[in-house]
Structure 1
Amino acid sequence: MPTLIAAIFVTGGLGALARLSCQILGKKITLDFPIGTVAANILAAFCIGIVMPLEMPFELKAVIASGFIGSLGTLSSICSDMFLLIKDREFLRALLYVVCTVCLGYLAFTLGKTCGGLF
């Protein structure tokens, strides 16, 4: 059990760094829209779609899904970005942000699940 916790700790840190990288790159693209968080969440949805159908030991799935993927895509980042958009009275962008995150995330999940089902 300590090994599992340590592995989730390490992969969670890597997922958080990957999310931060997406956010930094997104800021270079546009300051007006949180495209980096959208990209991180879509990537996380795609990855969890791949992992879900795969047959693997519980511990390995926990390390990948709860560790890396869980920290790559986070609800807290979505909420933070939504708060800032609404605070700035960017209601249309906030709506676009939610729609992009949910719809594109679901499409990415479905695509990932299809890809994961191939293995």
Structure 2
Amino acid sequence: MSGIILVSIGGFFGAISRFVISKSIQRRNPKGFPLGTLAVNLTGAFLLGMLTGMQINRHVQALLGIGFMGAFTTFSTLKLESEQLRKDKKYKAFYRYLVLSYSIGILFAFCGLIIGRRL
């Protein structure tokens, strides 16, 4: 039961953090490129990699890894915004968004994992 509570608490704060940070960044970049979601997802990839590398106990993993990071990062928003760019025929932004999201996301997760192992 405590695992469910920890994931719920982490998810609550992760979702609020994502909303505030993403909207704050996006407000400064109104040109249509989803920079807010990109920044949040790349940050989350790095932090989740770091948490994984640190080999934290299962309770902290439930709170921060599954709960907070699960709600902080958002694969569904990435897909929705990608589809909107494609639909609006903003192909350059569409491909740039996908390439940056996946390639840098994997790189950041790997870097976080390496750093986390050294902490």
Q: Who is 1:14 aligned against?
A: 13
Q: Who is 2:93 aligned against?
A: 93
Matches for 1:18-33 after TM superposition, within 5 Å: 18-31=17-30, 32-33=32-33
Superposed CA offset, 1:24-55 (max 9, x none): 12222212200000000001100111111223
Q: Unaligned 5+ residue runs, structure 2?
A: none
- TM-score between both structures, scaled by the size of structure 1: 0.91
Q: Who is 2:79 aligned against?
A: 79
Alignment of 1:57 with 2:57, yes or no, is: yes
8 Å CA contact retained: 2:85, 2:93: yes
Q: Who is 1:69 aligned against?
A: 69
Structure 1 vs Structure 2 CA RMSD: 1.3
Give, as a single letter, the amino acid of the residue that structure 1 aligns with 2:27.
K
Q: Aligned equivalents of 2:26 and 2:60: distance in 1?
A: 33
Tell me the secondary structure at the aligned position of residue 89 of structure 1.
coil
Q: Aligned equivalents of 2:56 and 2:111: distance in 1?
A: 20
* Deviation larger for 25-34 or 11-20: 25-34
| Offset at residue 13 of structure 1 (A) | 1.3
| Offset at residue 57 of structure 1 (A) | 2.2
Q: Aligned equivalents of 1:58 and 1:38: distance in 2?
A: 28
Q: Aligned equivalents of 1:43 and 1:94: distance in 2?
A: 20
List 4+ stretches of structure 1 deviating above 3 A: none
* Deviation larger for 57-66 or 39-48: 57-66
8 Å CA contact retained: 1:26, 1:34: no
Identity %: 25
Tell me the secondary structure at the aligned position of residue 56 of structure 1.
coil
